[in-house]
Amino acid sequence: MSAPARRPLTVALVNDHELIVRGIAAMLEPFSDLVEVVELDLDLPVSRAVDIALYDTFTRTSLHSDDLDDLCNNPDIGRVVLYTWLLTEDLVASALARGVHAALHKSLDAEALVRALTEVQDAHLEVIPYAEEPSLASNSWPGREEGLTPREAEIIALVTAGLSNNEIAERTYLSINSVKSYIRSAYRTMGVTSRSRAILWGIDHGMAPTRMRVLLPTGDAGVGNVALAQAQGTA
């Protein structure tokens, strides 16, 4: 007698940039029989019971944010999983101390990410090994189509949010010289020469944080079939 089919893991995607969460949702869509994205939360709390909340750290690599505590303290979330390019020992230790259950590196391709989420759920793994050479083909971020790297996009998003170079350095664990270097290279790619122009460019290219929730019907979580449940403008 064959074992009953396993239901898909239900997942909420959490970030404050719409392009980020929609990109991850599209990445996971071919594997909806294993992982079902049921909610996209942009700077709003998860509103339904889910197995996993996948927390993308784009622009939030310091983890000093109340929304992470809200996720970890939400009784309707089975496991909180950090999803980041910056998977350092200190960051992982800080995340686990805050109540995060696992940390995944964004070099994982779609199939590996699905497998990792399943392992987090079944084996309670804390850190999933990741590729030495990141595979960027299946990930998305604001500014990618225009040529920005993930780190440059993160820096420009923080510029767009009005942070100073010193504040960006503190937020991203980078030296001030590294921040300035990323800004210069990003400006060349963007074709701008001033901070004010960079902010306008960032707003035009999805860098401004968004506050809204998108609910997807269970059993039919295709990104093209989303139902907008709540939208409250941009920050």
Cα–Cα distance between 139 and 148 in angstroms, integer? 13
- Summarised one tens digit per residue, pLDDT across range 175-204 is 999 999 999 999 999 999 999 999 999 999
Sign of CA dihedral 137, 138, 143, 145: positive
- Summarised one tens digit per residue, pLDDT across range 79-136 is 999 888 777 777 778 888 888 898 888 878 889 899 999 988 887 766 655 444 444 4
CATH class of 9-138+209-234: alpha beta
pTM of the model: 0.76
Task: Decide if 71 contacts 54 (C-beta within 8 A).
Answer: no
> Which CB contacts under 8 angstroms, 24+ apart, belong to 88-92?
88/173, 91/61, 91/63, 91/173, 92/126, 92/127
Residues 53, 59, 61, 64, Cα dihedral to 10°: -80
Where are the chain's structural domains?
9-138+209-234, 150-204
Q: Is the pLDDT of residue 76 over 70?
A: yes
CATH class of 150-204: mainly alpha
Token pair recorded at residue 204? 């035009």
Kindly report the backbone phi and psi dihedral angles of residue 68, in degrees, each rounded to the nearest multiple of 5, phi listed first: -65, -40
In this prediction, residue 21 carries a pLDDT of 85
Percent of the chain with pLDDT over 70: 80
Helix, strand, or coil (residue 211): strand
